[in-house]
Each structure stands twice: as structure tokens, then as C-alpha cells.
Amino acid sequence: MEERKIIHVDMDAFFAAVEQRDKPELRGIPLAVGFDGDRGVVSTASYEARRFGVHSAQSIQVAKRLCPQLTIVLPDFHRYKAVSEQVRSIFLDYTDQIEPISIDEAFLDVTHNKKGIPLAVDIAEDIRRRIREELHLTASAGVSYNKFLAKIASDYRKPDGLCVIHPDKAVEFISQLRVEKFWGVGPKTAARMHSMGIFTGEQLRRVSKQHLVTVFGKVGTVYYDFARGIDPRPVETDYVRKSVGCEQTFMQDISLRSAVVVELYHTVLELEGRLKRAEFRGKTLTLKVKYADFAQITRSLTADKNLKTKADILPLAKKLLAEVDYSASHPIRLIGLSVSNPHTEDDLVRHPEWIEGCLPFED
């Protein structure tokens, strides 16, 4: 079987970099993209800001304490999406096998590329050069024989770096890798692994598949394979949307029933609009509630028909809300609603276009 050639390209501090490129007065200074308010969250931080400990998903208030001279700008998604499309057009000069992960990163399968370039590293370097020369931005890239290793490699020498993990060196590379760096291992999973004495890829590789599945469920098989450099997943050119949702964080916590119902109504209207724009149909409604102390709950129910309009969604949303406890001493910080579970296979919406990102105003 022919060895695959996979590239992962990740734009460096994308939103902040676009702002600094287009606004000279922002260059070279600590910058964060986000909403400058009590509930604001950093979406992207420039590398000048990161030196102070500012990072994405961090509270704006915390970021400002870490870096008092921090400049904060509101996002411009139309501009970011336009630049993202320009990046994609560069990718398309080399391959049609593109899997967007977000607005600022993607996998490319260049095993059979349009230019007939034999080495994937040369393609990655050429893509980075064109992004730098044509768009005046920088990108980091990772090259390997599967998605897991290409993703790890792109993170290894950021920013503006290129890393190749050769098949002959993969197991050695993974052996010294901290488990926190494994794709799909979050803080809770890492802590669980640490409690088992697993801190590196080499230690993870010593654990049997059966034991990993017992502890972590089906994903244990994935960890077992990753520790051995195995990842058979193809680069998926079609994005299959499985849900559509929206949420809002309130400027002040709410606990009055009348206020909660009003906000729920507004969220239903927003969801209705998103369902229409996405041409998505599903039959399961999920309510997400986050409290002032950041505790979070979800409630779901499944209807016997597709949920498309306010008339379909609002009664169910109210029914779910009735199952949620809140009070003046336990107020609500955020409400979210989503529709999932397409009624039939035909209801899955396939999106080959570049995925539009969203700003995480909630951490």
C-alpha cells in the first residue's frame, strides 16, 4: 500500500495576525481579539501578548491583569473568512483533498498532488512561502504519514515553523511526547492518565489495549493506536454537519423566571435562523445551562418530527427549562440550544466549503 503524505497547516494567531497585518498601529504590541467586557473571553492573542501569559479561551479580565498594556479589538469575521478563503485557494493549487478543521487550520492529503511534487515537505514549504508572500501572514505546517502525527508536527515548531515526522522516526518521536500533547487528550483525560503513571507516549504504549478500553471506553483503542503511530483516518473533504446550535452569555447573571423565559425565547429565534441558513433538519433539542459558578447542565428530548421553526422548538425548550433549577443564589450565566439527530440519513447536510469559525465569548 502506498504511504500517505499528509500535511496539517495551522495559521499562526490567525485573527490577531490579520488585525496586525491590516492595521499598522497594532503591529508589535500585545493584542487580543475579543469582547472587552466583564464576560469577554480572549479568542486569539498575538505572540507579543502570549509572552505575558495571555492565551485563547482566557477571561479578558484575567488577560488585562496579566498584561496591563494589552490592546483589545473586536473580531471582524467577514474579513477573517475572506482571508481563510484566500488560504484555501492556495491549498487548491496543490490538492482537492482538503479537510478544514476550523477557519484557520486544515489537513491536506498530497499523496497524489496536482503539481506532481514527490516530497510533501516541499509542498508544505511552498504553501507557507505563498501564504507569507501573497497574504503577508505566517503559517506553521506539520508533515507525516497520518493526521495524528501531522497535527502534532504542526504544533511542534510554532510559530512560522515546519516539522516533518518520518515513518522511521515516528515511534521514537511519540515515545518522548507528553500525553497532554496527544490529539484528543484534554486536561481531565491527562489527569486520569497521570494517576495511572502515564506521562509520556512510551508509558502509554506499555498499557494494554484492554486496560485502556476499560478505563477510557472506546476511545482507549484510539490512544492505543496513537501511541504506536497508527491513525487510519482519511482526509475527509466533506464536512457532515450533525448539529446546529447557538448560545449566549449574559452581561449579568439572571434568575427571575420572566427574564430567563425572555432570553430563552431570543435564543429560540436565533436557533431558528441558523437552522434555516444551514438548511439543517434534526429531531433532538438540547438545552445547555451554565450557572454563575460555571457548573453546567444539559437537558435533551427527541421529537417525532424535524425541528425547524419557532413553533416546533419553543414548546420543547420551555419543557426542558422546566427541568432546570435556578434561583437568586444559583443564577444562570449562559443559555444555549441546539438541534441534532437528523431524522433520516438524507437530512445530513454536507458542506464541502470552508467552515466558518465562531468567536468563543464563553470559556
Residue 12 CB neighbour total at 10 angstroms: 19
Q: Which long-range contacts (CB under 8 A, 24 or more apart) does 127-134 make?
A: 127/7, 127/9, 127/90, 127/91, 127/94, 128/9, 128/160, 128/162, 130/90, 131/11, 131/87, 131/90, 134/86, 134/90
Distance between CA atoms of 248 and 296, rounded to whole angstroms? 14
Query: pLDDT digit string (tens) for 169-187?
Result: 999 999 999 999 998 898 8
User: Which is nearest to 135 in space by CA: 78, 77, 75, 83?
Assistant: 83
Active site residue 105: yes
**Residues forming beta bridges with residue 11, ordered by sequence position:** 139
Distance between CA atoms of 289 and 294, rounded to whole angstroms? 9
Which of these is catalytic: 19, 99, 105, 272?
105
Q: Which amino acid is at 263?
A: E
CA 120 remoteness from chain centre: 25
For 236, the enclosing helix (H) or strand (E) is none
Residue 360 confidence (pLDDT) above 50: no
Contact 267, 243 (CB under 8 A): no
pLDDT band at 344 (very low <50, low <70, confident <90, very high): low
Q: Which amino acid is at 300?
A: S
Q: Which amino acid is at 330?
A: H
- In residues, how long is the chain? 363
Distance between CA atoms of 318 and 67, rounded to whole angstroms? 43
Distance between CA atoms of 287 and 339, rounded to whole angstroms? 9
Phi, psi of 219 (to 5 degrees): -65, -15
Residue 192 CB neighbour total at 10 angstroms: 14
Q: Which residue ranges form the domains of the chain, and what is each CATH number? A: 1-146 (3.30.70.270), 170-226 (1.10.150.20), 243-347 (3.30.1490.100)
Distance between CA atoms of 165 and 99, rounded to whole angstroms? 20
Distance between CA atoms of 156 and 210, rounded to whole angstroms? 30
Query: pLDDT digit string (tens) for 91-101?
Result: 999 999 999 98
Query: pLDDT digit string (tens) for 63-103?
Result: 999 999 999 999 999 999 999 999 999 999 999 999 998 89
Query: pLDDT digit string (tens) for 234-275?
Result: 999 876 678 899 998 898 899 999 999 999 999 999 999 999
The label of the residue with cell 482537492 reads: 96
Phi, psi of 64 (to 5 degrees): -70, -30
Residue 115 confidence (pLDDT) above 90: yes
Lookup: cell for 189: 483525560
Average pLDDT, the chain: 91
Q: Using alpha carbons, list the distances in angstroms from residue 166 to 171, 184, 233, 268.
A: 10, 22, 18, 50
The label of the residue with cell 429560540 reads: 268
Q: Alpha-carbon Rg of the chain, whole angstroms?
A: 22
| Torsion over CA: 241, 244, 250, 256 (sign) | negative
Determine the average pLDDT of the residues in 109-126. 97
User: Which is nearest to 159 in space by CA: 138, 144, 142, 180?
Assistant: 138
Write the DSSP symbol of residue 169.
G
In the prediction, which pLDDT does 212 show? Answer: 96
Q: Which amino acid is at 21?
A: R
In the prediction, which pLDDT does 361 show? Answer: 32
In the prediction, which pLDDT does 358 show? Answer: 36
